[in-house]
């Protein structure tokens, strides 16, 4: 059903023939646009998307089609000239920078990390430490314990043994952040110098990494995010300029990088896989990461919903900057809701569920309590597991209490009159 709706949504706008990609000039504000009406998108549905984005504390939203801007919206006091943090969406930029360093012969991702950081960068024994490679850092499989009091910490005392490298996937910021030092040691350049020289200057991206505690966080304008998304959509070239002309590395980056979390490449989230894992959990959830998004989508995602989506089959790049979003380290559920609205943009009768479209749930993932927004009264709720069996719950006002549920994926359906809306709920 999902793929049928996607087909209807994009039927008028996207053909199987690949259009020529547009690349904006490296300087200035010129950027060609495409009228959303030519894609069959209705203004009323676009307005509903913008209203929801604003209500969920978005700052900027951009959609590119074959490089040209189709949608661009800024909220509140945020403007096209405002800078904002990428948070963990910057991880994908780091992975790209590592790929360039390998392509230019400064490192090999199969090298031990100790070759670049020296011994003693963890609290492990030397044999344990030397088993960790750059590839393990790129794939979140270092085996270092993410359950330490501060998982952002990069001090040796914070980097302790949990499992052998390559045997456990865990979203762990400390080992990732140390890739910055690997790049600096390998290239002899600072992180900002390397990224600016090898990526930013070639695609017109104005931005830089700033230090925040243990973290190095990339900051740019929203269009800078869109420029990097456009680069990601290509095979290592910006127009005719080579940036990372290593298709082998790029294919590894945007495909399953290990067998533990199928939905994770090199610091990049992947849709369309049979299962996924999420930060701060060791559970494996069946199904796609974003079931309402195109299956070939891959994404850079960060805390509070910093998102770069790339859909190669449709020539789409989607960017969202914003705040709110609760405590999720990546906004995959929020991202999936964006695609619910994207799937309603086409002027096709019957897709939109207007009576329920403003209803949202949080937090998701949840530990047992769900808050439902925008209830109008007289809604009927139904909760089922993946086997389609009804699951008991308790509703008190706009709260749903899930009692004694096993960790896993559930489906909460909200009905009103002849309309329904279903949310995928992750219980951990």
Indicate the range of 86-95, 308-317, 412-421 predicted with least confidence.
412-421
Render pLDDT for 282-303 as a digit per residue (tens, 0 to 9). Answer: 999 999 999 999 999 999 999 9
The CA-atom distances, in angstroms, between 200 and each of 187, 235, 350, 380, 413 are: 17, 16, 44, 51, 45
**Residues 156 and 70 sit within 8 Å (Cβ to Cβ):** no
CA gap 258, 205 in Å, rounded: 31
Check residue 422 and give its pLDDT: 79
Residue 269 CB neighbours (<10 A)? 29
**Residues 39 and 70 sit within 8 Å (Cβ to Cβ):** yes
pLDDT-derived band of residue 328, with 50, 70 and 90 as boundaries? low
pTM above threshold 0.75 = yes
- Residue 143 is classified by DSSP as -
pLDDT-derived band of residue 370, with 50, 70 and 90 as boundaries? confident
Check residue 323 and give its pLDDT: 87
pLDDT-derived band of residue 405, with 50, 70 and 90 as boundaries? confident
**Residues 46 and 36 sit within 8 Å (Cβ to Cβ):** yes
Burial of 250 (0-12, 13-18, 19+ CB in 10 A): buried
Q: Is the pLDDT of residue 12 over 50?
A: no
Render pLDDT for 168-183 as a digit per residue (tens, 0 to 9). Answer: 999 999 999 999 999 9
Check residue 392 and give its pLDDT: 85
Render pLDDT for 61-85 as a digit per residue (tens, 0 to 9). Answer: 999 999 999 999 999 999 999 999 9
**Residues 191 and 184 sit within 8 Å (Cβ to Cβ):** yes
What stretch of H or E contains 135? helix 134-139
Most confident stretch, 2-11, 38-47, 320-329, 399-408: 38-47
Q: Is the pLDDT of residue 317 over 70?
A: yes
Q: Is the pLDDT of residue 365 over 90?
A: no
Check residue 417 and give its pLDDT: 65
Residue 35 or residue 391, greater confidence? 35
* φ, ψ at 341 (rounded to 5°): -70, -40
pLDDT-derived band of residue 339, with 50, 70 and 90 as boundaries? very high
Check residue 4 and give its pLDDT: 43
Q: Is the pLDDT of residue 10 over 50?
A: no
**Residues 340 and 2 sit within 8 Å (Cβ to Cβ):** no
SS3 readout for 125-181: CHHHHHCCEHHHHHHCCCCECCCCCCCCCCCHHHCCECCCCCCCCCCCHHHHHHHHH
Residues 6+ apart with CB under 8 A from 101: 107, 183, 186, 187, 194
CA gap 421, 8 in Å, rounded: 18
The CA-atom distances, in angstroms, between 153 and each of 144, 166, 177, 283 are: 12, 21, 9, 24
pLDDT, average across residues 368-386: 77
Matching residue, tokens 């999936």:
336
Residue 33 or residue 368, greater confidence? 33
Q: Is the pLDDT of residue 3 over 70?
A: no
Residue 251 or residue 425, greater confidence? 251
CA gap 88, 286 in Å, rounded: 24
Q: Mean pLDDT for the chain?
A: 89
Nearest Cα residue to 199 out of 293, 92, 306, 127: 92
- CA torsion angle for 111, 115, 119, 121 (degrees, to 10)? -70
Burial of 43 (0-12, 13-18, 19+ CB in 10 A): exposed
Render pLDDT for 255-271 as a digit per residue (tens, 0 to 9). Answer: 999 999 999 999 999 99
CA angle, 72 then 342 then 271, to 5°: 110
- Residue 38 is classified by DSSP as G
**Residues 59 and 75 sit within 8 Å (Cβ to Cβ):** yes
For the chain, domains (ranges, CATH) are: 1-352 (3.40.710.10), 360-427 (2.60.40)
Check residue 424 and give its pLDDT: 80
**Residues 342 and 376 sit within 8 Å (Cβ to Cβ):** no
Check residue 416 and give its pLDDT: 73
Check residue 325 and give its pLDDT: 57
- Partners of 212 in the β-ladder: 215
CA gap 266, 280 in Å, rounded: 18
Q: Is the pLDDT of residue 233 over 80?
A: yes
């Amino acid at each position: 059903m999902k793929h049928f709706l996607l087909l209807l949504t994009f039927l008028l706008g996207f053909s199987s023939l690949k259009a020529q990609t547009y690349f904006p000039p490296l300087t200035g504000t010129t950027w060609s646009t495409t009228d959303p009406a030519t894609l069959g998108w209705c203004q009323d549905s676009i307005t509903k998307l913008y209203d929801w984005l604003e209500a969920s504390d978005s700052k900027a939203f951009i959609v590119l089609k074959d490089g040209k801007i189709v949608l661009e919206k800024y909220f509140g006091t945020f403007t096209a000239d405002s800078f904002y943090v990428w948070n963990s969406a910057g991880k994908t930029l780091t992975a790209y920078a590592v790929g360039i360093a390998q392509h230019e012969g400064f490192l090999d991702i199969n090298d031990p990390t100790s070759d670049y950081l020296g011994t003693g960068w963890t609290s492990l024994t030397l044999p344990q430490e030397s088993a960790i490679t750059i590839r393990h850092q790129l794939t979140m499989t270092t085996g270092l314990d993410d359950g330490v009091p501060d998982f952002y910490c990069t001090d040796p005392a914070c980097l302790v043994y949990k499992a052998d490298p390559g045997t456990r996937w865990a979203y762990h910021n400390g080992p990732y952040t140390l890739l910055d030092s690997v790049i600096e040691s390998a290239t002899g350049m600072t992180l900002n110098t390397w990224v600016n020289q090898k990526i930013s200057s070639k695609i017109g991206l104005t931005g830089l990494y700033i230090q925040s505690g243990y973290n190095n966080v990339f900051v740019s304008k929203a269009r800078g995010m869109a420029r990097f998304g456009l680069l990601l959509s290509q095979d290592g070239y910006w127009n005719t300029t080579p940036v990372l002309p290593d298709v082998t590395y790029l294919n590894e980056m945007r495909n399953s990088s290990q067998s533990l979390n199928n939905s994770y490449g090199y610091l990049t989230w992947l849709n369309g896989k049979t299962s996924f894992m999420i930060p701060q959990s060791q559970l494996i959830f069946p199904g796609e990461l974003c079931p309402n998004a195109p299956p070939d989508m891959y994404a850079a995602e960060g805390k509070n919903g910093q998102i770069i989506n790339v859909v190669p089959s449709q020539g789409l790049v989607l960017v969202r900057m914003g705040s709110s979003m609760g405590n999720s380290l990546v906004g995959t559920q929020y991202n999936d809701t964006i695609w619910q609205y994207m799937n309603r943009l086409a002027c096709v009768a019957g897709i939109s569920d207007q009576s329920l479209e403003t209803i949202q749930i949080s937090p998701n993932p949840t530990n047992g309590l769900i808050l439902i927004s925008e209830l109008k009264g007289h809604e009927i709720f139904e909760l089922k597991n993946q086997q389609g069996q009804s699951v008991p719950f308790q509703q008190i006002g706009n709260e749903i209490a899930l009692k004694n549920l096993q960790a896993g994926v559930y489906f909460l359906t909200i009905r009103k009159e002849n309309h329904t809306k279903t949310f995928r709920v992750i219980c951990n």
